[in-house]
Amino acid sequence: MDALRWLANDQVSRLIATFSAGSPYGAPSLCGALVFALGWFFLRRRARGRGANLKMFVRAIFPRRILLHPSSLVDMRLWALNTLVFAGGYGLLVVGSFFWRDRMVSGLTGAFGAHGPLGIAPGLAILIATLAELLAYELGYWASHYAFHRIPALWEFHKVHHSAEVMTTFTEMRQHPIEIVFFMNVMALTTGLTFGVSAYLLGPGVGHMTLLNGNIVLALFMLTWGHLRHSHLWIPFQGLAGKLFQSPAHHQVHHSIDPRHFDKNLGFALAVWDWLFGTLHVPSREREVSQFGVGEEYKDYATVGRSLARPFAKAGEALRQTPAPLAGEGGGAGRP
* Residue closest to 231 by CA, chosen among 250, 206, 218: 250
pLDDT tops 50 at residue 329: no
Q: Positive or negative CA dihedral for 138, 141, 146, 149?
A: negative
b vs e for 240-252, b when ≥16 Cβ sit within 10 Å of the residue's Cβ?
eebbebbbbbbbb
Output the pLDDT for position 22: 67
> Could you give the CA distance from residue 270 to residue 306 in angstroms, rounded to a whole number?
32
Output the pLDDT for position 270: 98
Interhelix angle 304-320/70-112, nearest 10 degrees? 50
pLDDT tops 80 at residue 94: no
Q: What is the pLDDT of residues 105-141, one digit of tens each?
A: 999 999 999 877 777 888 888 899 999 999 999 999 9
Burial of 333 (0-12, 13-18, 19+ CB in 10 A): buried
Helix H or strand E encompassing 211: strand 210-211
pTM recorded for the entire structure: 0.89
Q: What is the CA radius of gyration of the chain?
A: 21
Percent of the chain whose pLDDT exceeds 90: 66
Output the pLDDT for position 336: 47
Percent of the chain whose pLDDT exceeds 70: 86
Q: What is the pLDDT of residues 41-56, one digit of tens each?
A: 999 888 888 888 888 9
| CB neighbours of residue 91 within 10 Å | 12
Residue 326 binned pLDDT confidence (cut-offs 50, 70, 90): very low
Output the pLDDT for position 233: 94
pLDDT tops 60 at residue 297: yes
pLDDT tops 80 at residue 1: no
